[in-house]
Structure 1
Amino acid sequence: MSRASCLFQLCQIPSTNLLLRSSKLPRGLYVIPGWKIYPTLYFCKSLQTTTYEVVNGSYVPTTQTKQEKETKDKSLAKLDTVGAFQKLPMVMPSVDILHSALRKAKRVLPTKGIANIAKRERNRGAKQLDALMKELAISLRMYLESFPKKKYLHPYERSLIELTLGDGNYEEVLGKVDALRKKVVSVGKEHASFCAKSLTKREAEERLSEGMKKIEEIFSQDAKVVDDLLHIAKTLRAMPVVDLETPTLCLVGAPNVGKSSLVRTLSTGKPEVCNYPFTTRGILMGHIVLNYQTFQVTDTPGLLKRCDEDRNNLEKLTLAVLSHLPTAILYVHDLTGECGSSPSEQFVIYKEIKERFGDHLWLDVVSKCDLFQNSPVVFITDNDDPGHVELARYRKLGPDGAIHVSVKTEEGLSELKVKVHELLTLQMDKISEKSNQENLVIS
């Protein structure tokens, strides 16, 4: 028997038989004299999948339940991070996509060496229709693959999509783009097949022209979804990037209490500052550099006294930041009555947010203290209950330990910057501790 045949029969033997002496090998095995059988050189069809652990110097198989395996896989999974919006592709306007595809398709030439005119023409027509279909379909598919699925995004970015685009709008647009891609592919293949079956040159030219017009018509009918995707990409890329590893200070409070003015004072952020509520229409980012360390500062839309079901998307955006991002809170109070929310209303909002997000590092600031010399405005909504001692004290001085500042006169700003630096240093330690715990779990 040849050596190759011997090797083939050798590979069919179960691994346990390789440990037998040659006299006990199964019938039909031919061993060439001088050959030796080494178990370590044996190639088997099935692979060993049992894991082992060392016990008293010996290898003992370990048992791992399905639940333990799933837990381990989850712990090894990559943690959610933000920044997916900055990786979105540059979506071309639908008109440009169509014109580019038509231009490239018309430059396609027939296969060389076809002498028959009719065959050459139908070959050219089929290739051009196929090229037009592919140019359009590939562009749409590339966009679909580049836009992340919402379920894989960080919770903060999922909230941004829902609050800025509307619930379900993101998935709806992507679904329509995919439907358009499938429709273009179907129509393109159909007309390319028709053109390939043409019997004469004239028939091939007519079917080519008809197919081009049909594909263009199909794409143009639903081209708006591509422009909608372009708008989504622009909107999401404009969202500020929050680095989860960098300590972040989030300014919170009622509308028009002076949050944006403090952001301009404390950081490089330049939010719009106006004397009317809800000037801040989204999340605005800035950076603080203190003692050669860089920190983040975010300005958020103001909160009103109402339940979550009645809040607008701007207020929900603020709650999303506090819920999903590791931030320290700088809560701003305005007791002068200029902001439009009475101290009593601000007190209720403050107590609610403090109770809900009490696990965050916290610093209270009373703004516009230069106006305290004037008598505060008394609102009809103010609670004048003399028995409410905490509210009475709040209306005069704000929360316990609050820093009184004035951007106009710069009163208290130096103390505020020192306190902010201490707060962000603690936030840095908190982030580092959490990161070390996560790495310990993974390892």
Structure 2
Amino acid sequence: MSYGAPYLLQLWHISATKFLLGRSNLSKVAGLYVKEGRTAKYPNLCFYRNVQTVSYEIVHGSYIPTTQVKAPTKTQDKASTKLENLGAFQKLPMVMPLVDILGSAMRKAKRVSPTKGIANIAKRERNRGAKQLDALMKELAVPLREYVENFPRKKLLHPYERSLIELTLGDGNYEEVLRKVDTLRKKVVSVGKECAALCAKSQTKQEAVERLNEGLEKLDKIFRHEGKAVDDLLDIAKTLRAMPVVDLETPTLCLVGAPNVGKSSLVRILSTGKPEVCNYPFTTRGILMGHIALNFQHFQVTDTPGLLKRRDEDRNNLEKLTLAVLSHLPTAVLYVHDLTGECGTSSSDQFVIYKEIKERFGDHLWLDVVSKSDLLQDSPAVFIPEDGNADHVEIARYQKMGPIGAIHVSVKSGEGLNELKLKVHELLVCQMDRLGSLETGKDCPELLQSGLQYTSYFTE
């Protein structure tokens, strides 16, 4: 009988092991090898052959190993329904003015003492100079690094806050200022290390003092010359921190309309907001926020700049702020109309603006208000079609009474204000139900009964 090479190799290993165990002073007792006169225990020696676990497939008479590929598991990511939080502007770090950072850094650096125990005067002086330059470099660079790290990245902000940055500061200006601050930090670190290393190589006390003064002057010059970005960042922080905070979980009422139609006056009547009220267009130069407290319930009211009849690409930044609020915030809309002809925008233009905004943001809860009704009663405006079409019934009806279901109010005489407050409260309660509901598109029964949800002239 012939045996293969693996079998003979196994027999050789077993024979050699028996030979070694037989020559040793170990005796086999109950599966343990115990040396005579000692209590130490040694484990059994085991021999085994490797088990082949590779699978093969036959292809044209040859064995080819097959690789087992696991089927990828499908993981379904559940989209988060929680609204993104606002308020990043109120968490901005406090930015110190350029002169304050430089003055504080200089004072702290000059108080740095040399390492104790250095007897040689030249060595002690160059040690002091190198440590002071290193300290100045750190005192200047650390605040700059904190600013760059703690100011939020624009792409991570809520879309509404991104729009505020672009429209308030200009497109790209925010990122450019942060980039300049970071560039200044890198230059301060590079120059500071270079000057400290040069001072540490001084041969005499006089040379160390001269290199220390040169380094201090060089860092001072660089920081003053290129540090304007720090003051620019300070202005940006002040501007953004002054932006009104909007709570996404609190129902918000947004007043929209053409310039000078009376939105700010209604904000004063409805909420705690105190916007500027003047008889000229574009009095509102930004987003103004007020609050309402009714029956232990808290709501928000925002006043927006007026909209003109023109394309989006031709709108100014004030008008774009209004569109940003409607586009990115879950607000109910209180649309204000002025049919007296005193606001500076004709009723026909207001009709076109209203129709565009209504069709564009028709998914918002909506309430229409015709302001200055006391003037409208005394001298009703007369509509003259610009295209000569007297049969334009929609515009003619809008010119006389506004949209169907609109509330006529007068801040001067008080007409309709109580009804307006009641309807606004119902509107905001429904907005609260909409925010709290997980089902999209669920209508508010109370609002449907009162006929406020789609009070538009364009009802079918």
TM-score normalized by the length of structure 2: 0.79
State the partner residue of 1:420: 424
Q: What letter corresponds to residue 400 of structure 2 in structure 1?
A: K
Name which of 344, 363, 366 aligns with 1:340. Answer: 344
- Measured in 2, the distance between the counterparts of 1:409 and 1:220 equals 59
Return the letter of the residue paired with 2:262: G
Q: Which residue of 1 aligns with 2:140?
A: 136
Q: 2:321 & 2:131 partners in 1: Cα distance?
A: 51
Q: Which among 155, 170, 173 is matched to residue 151 of structure 1?
A: 155
Does residue 1:224 correspond to 2:228, yes or no? Answer: yes
AA in 1 matched with 2:136: L
Alignment match, 1:243: 247
Measured in 2, the distance between the counterparts of 1:392 and 1:358 equals 23
Paired positions, count: 378
Shift of 1:373: 2.4
Whole-Å Cα distance in 2 between the matches of residues 416 and 81 of structure 1? Answer: 31
Q: Flag the 1:200–1:78 CA change in 2: closer, same or farther, 3 A.
A: farther
1:207 pairs with 2:211: yes
Give the structure 2 partner of residue 95 of structure 1: 99
Whole-angstrom CA distance in 1 between matches of 2:397 and 2:82: 48
Q: Which of residues 286, 292, 295 is equivalent to 2:296?
A: 292
The Cα shift of 1:80 comes to 2.4
CA shift for structure 1 position 291 = 1.2
Task: Specify the alignment match of 1:269 in structure 2.
Answer: 273
Q: Distance in 2 between matches of 1:170 and 1:145?
A: 14
For 1:62 and 1:288, the matched residues in 2 are separated by 57
Match of 1:329 in 2: 333
Question: How many Å separate the matches in 1 of 2:411 and 2:333?
Answer: 19
Whether 1:303 aligns to 2:310 is: no
Matched with 2:287 is 283
1:346-425 equivalences in 2 (<5 Å): 346-377=350-381, 382=386, 385-425=389-429
Larger radius of gyration: 2
Give the deviation of 1:79 after TM superposition.
Answer: 5.0
CA distance in 1, matches of 2:125, 2:387: 87
Partner residue, 1:188: 192
Contact 2:383/2:396 (8 A) holds in 1: no
Match of 2:109 in 1: 105
Partner residue in 2 for 1:160: 164
Q: Report the structure, 1 or 2, having the larger helix content.
A: 1
C-alpha separation between the residues in 1 aligned to 2:434 and 2:388?
Answer: 41
Structure 2 vs 1, CA of residues 157 and 368 (structure 1 numbering), >3 Å: closer, same or farther?
same
* Unmatched tracts of structure 1, length 5 or more: 1-22, 24-30, 35-60, 438-443
Q: Is the 8 A contact 1:187 1:215 kept in 2?
A: yes
Aligned equivalent of 1:64 = 73
Query: In 2, Cα distance between the equivalents of 1:205 and 1:401?
Result: 84
Gapped runs of 5+ residues in structure 2?
A: 1-30, 32-40, 45-69, 442-460
Give SS of 1:297's match: strand
Task: String of CA shifts for 1:21-70, please: whole Å, max 9, x gaps.
Answer: xx9xxxxxxx9669xxxxxxxxxxxxxxxxxxxxxxxxxx99523xx36x
Contact 2:381 2:399 survives alignment (8 Å): no
Alpha-carbon displacement from aligned partner over 1:155-199 (angstroms, at most 9, x marks no partner): 000000000000000000000000000000000000000000111
Query: Once superposed, which parts of structure 1, at least 4 consecutive aligned residues long, lie more than 3 Å away?
Result: 31-34, 75-79, 376-384, 434-437
Superposed CA offset, 1:299-324 (max 9, x none): 00000000001000000000000000
Q: Secondary structure at the match of 1:296?
A: strand
Give me the whole-angstrom Cα distance separating, in 2, the residues matched to 1:92 and 1:383: 60
Deviation by residue 1:404-432 (Cα, 9 ceiling, x = unmatched): 00000110000001100110011001100
Cα 1:350–1:32 shift into 2, 3 Å = farther
**Residues 265 and 233 of structure 1: CA distance in aligned 2, closer, same or farther (over 3 Å):** same
Code of the aligned partner of 1:167: D
Rate the CA distance shift 1:132–1:412 in 2: closer, same or farther, 3 A. same
Q: TM-score, normalised by structure 1?
A: 0.82
Partner residue of 2:7? none
CA contact (8 A) 2:382 2:399 kept: no
Kindly indicate whether the alpha-carbon contact (under 8 Å) linking 1:188 and 1:211 is maintained by their aligned counterparts in 2: yes
Amino acid at match of 1:135: E
Q: Aligned residues: percent identity?
A: 77
SS in 2 for 1:372: helix
In structure 2, do the counterparts of structure 1 residues 262 and 76 end up closer, same or farther at CA, with 3 Å as the change threshold?
A: closer
Q: 1:433 to 1:77 in 2, by over 3 A?
A: closer
1:257 corresponds to 2:261: yes
- Output aligned runs, 1:111-126, within 5 Å: 111-126=115-130
- State how far apart, in whole Å, the 2-side matches of 1:435 and 1:104 are: 60
Q: CA deviation at 1:292?
A: 1.3
In 2, Cα distance between equivalents of 1:137 and 1:435 = 51
Please state how far the C-alpha of 1:77 moved relative to its aligned partner: 10
The Cα offsets for residues 101-140 of structure 1, whole Å up to 9 and x where unpaired, read as: 0000000001111111111100000000000000000010
Q: Which residue of 2 aligns with 1:86?
A: 90
Q: Select between 174-183 and 373-382 the one with higher mean Cα deviation.
A: 373-382
Q: How far apart are the structure 2 equivalents of 1:385 and 1:146? A: 60
> Which is further off, 375-384 or 397-406?
375-384
CA-atom RMSD in angstroms: 2.2
> What is the rounded CA distance, in whole Å, between the counterparts of 1:411 and 1:234 in structure 2?
41
SS of residue paired to 1:373: helix
Cα distance in 2 for partners of 1:435, 1:185 equals 55
Contact 2:180–2:229 (Cα < 8 Å) also in 1: yes
CA distance in 2, matches of 1:345, 1:78: 39
The 8 Å contact of residues 365 and 427 in structure 2, kept in 1 or not, is answered as: yes
Deviations 1:320-362 (A, max 9, x none): 0000000000000000001010100000000000000000000
Contact 1:345 1:381 (8 Å CA) reproduced = no
For 2:226, the aligned partner's letter is D
Distance verdict in 2 for CA 1:156–1:62, change over 3 Å: same
